[in-house]
A and B are shown apart, each in its own frame.
Chain A
Amino acid sequence: MPYLVHSEEDRASMLESIGVQSMDDLLVDIPQSLRIGSLDLPDGLSEYETMSQIASLAARNRVFPDRLTFRGGGVYRRFIPAAVAAVTSKPEFYTAYTPYQPEASQGTLQAIFEFQTLIAELTALDVANASLYDGATAVAEAAMMAHIHTGRNEVMVSGYLHPEYVEVLRAFCDGRGIKVRKGTEPGPKTAAVIFQQPDFLGLLVDAKTLTENAHAAGALAIACVDPISLAILSPPGEYGADIAVGEGQQLGLSPSYGGPHVGFISCRRELVRRLPGRLIGIAHDKQGRRGFVLALSAREQHIRREKASSNICTNHSLCALAASVYMTYMGPKGLRQVAEVSFKRAHVLAERLAALPGWEPAFPDRQFVNEFPMRVPKASAVVRKLARKGILGPIEVQRWFRELKGVVTFTCTEVNDARALDELLAALEA
């Protein structure tokens, strides 16, 4: 059997040492009525047969080339440097446990401390945590923070926040009796105004005014942001938002059918005690050597138990490591170039698409970075036609927003080269 190390001799020898006759003597506490003879599963397979089975499942999926992927909606194809996988596949990183014994975990602790710093810098806020599961749960955790901080029972979603993030927000809030409403005017019961920048359609919102309006009503401003766009766009700290959250998948993680990805959260100094999840800080040993350690653990569930503000026990450490490698590899100039190339190509694409008969920008007065909505005749047929030609086309957003019938969103990143745009147009024109 694979991965098992004891021989029959080992087993016999161990039973003898323990002083029992058989395994049944060790399982004596389990009532006989519960004992099963075997599991209703096929027997195990050799590695060769296992991989054959897995590979044939993989072969039943269709992978679109990244250069011919124009679909976003929260998950994007990006250039992932080889350095990322080279680091995350190091067994010392991927098979390590949570760093509860800091002296034996300085590698993980330092790498994630760097992640916290990178995210704080990118979002221009004071402190970031060691990561969360995804953008959706990050939004929900930020809403919880605002509820606890203000004592208010309602959060307001402004504009087009990712529909799945809204669903998750509702599921979290339901459990705590917090109301979620969509609106434009925060009120005296509003704990936080949550907006996405760029929004789910890729459009830019007036983050500054939304933040000011939230504060005027005594509410916190929670900005859900695209990390790559922050190389160009004003970050939450610059316009005074209290909490920044988002999805870090674009920072070096494959789409992988939706997970595992990585959520991030950062906030102003005053809110740090409310941050969920893990926080890593600097500490020193008796010899004055600098090290890193899990900090402020007293906030967390294993100590506060039912009084914790979150039950989160973990972070997406290896994914945060990937994101750290990516951000370090890119540096400020590289990240800016990725964002600018994406911006330019997307704007050229939008112009070319708008020239197609019957096609027009869905919100012509709004700005975007590299994702944008188009109003298109026969949207479903268009998407199917593209798929037949090996192109993963836009998303039909009417699936979530009935008022957006016929609207599709296109994404363009640094992996969609100029020829790919030509291929897309040619496929549409045919």
Chain B
Amino acid sequence: MADRRYTKTHEWVVVDGKTVTVGITDFAQSQLGDVVFLELPSTGRKLALRESFGVVESVKAASDLYSPVAGRVTAVNDKLTVNPELVNSDPYGDGWILKLELAGDLPPDLLDEAAYKQVTEASAH
């Protein structure tokens, strides 16, 4: 998708006006294995750029989630409490994690598809 951006810590963002949707990438979910739990913030919480806002857990790993933008949490994907496996099966669609109201501008260091691909290729040594 042309307007999806990525971070080095394997989150993705889609921007729609002031609303930013955040999730974790397909690469991240495949590294983690079957997701069993997510620890997520409540709506209303303010997040700073790159602030750690939660944890995504599989049986063998636990990864911190870092906010790709600064903003205020407006929605959290409730479906993930009952079906955390959506993060694996549909990381860019139904597996979205939260929505933020953007504060200020988008950070300049968000990666495009090609740049993110380079990051994942470097990781999988």
Contacts and interface: CB of A to CB of B under 8 A. Distances in A.
Interface of A: 273, 297-299, 303-304, 307
Contacts of B36: 298
A307 B64 contact: yes
Contacts, number: 18
Contact of B59 (A273, A298, A304, A307): A298
Contacts of B37: 298
A299 B36 CA distance: 12
Q: By CB atoms of chain A within 10 A, which of B58, B59, B64 has the most?
A: B59
Contacts of B61: 298, 303
A298 B60 contact: yes
A298 B64 contact: no
Q: Top 3 closest A-B pairs, CB basis? A: A298-B62, A298-B57, A303-B62
16 contacts: A273-B39, A297-B59, A297-B60, A298-B36, A298-B37, A298-B57, A298-B58, A298-B59, A298-B60, A298-B61, A298-B62, A299-B62, A303-B60, A303-B61, A303-B62, A307-B64
Interface in B41-80: 57-62, 64
A307 B52 CA distance: 12
Interface string B14-47: 0000000000000000000000110100000000
A284 to B, nearest CB: 14
Contacts of A298: 36-37, 57-62
Given A297-B59, A298-B57, 12 more contacts: A273-B39, A297-B60, A298-B58, A298-B59, A298-B60, A298-B61, A299-B62, A303-B60, A303-B61, A303-B62, A304-B62, A307-B62
Interface string B69-110: 000000000000000000000000000000000000000000
Contacts of B62: 298-299, 303-304, 307
A298 B39 CA distance: 12
B37 to A, nearest CB: 8
A411 B114 CA distance: 74
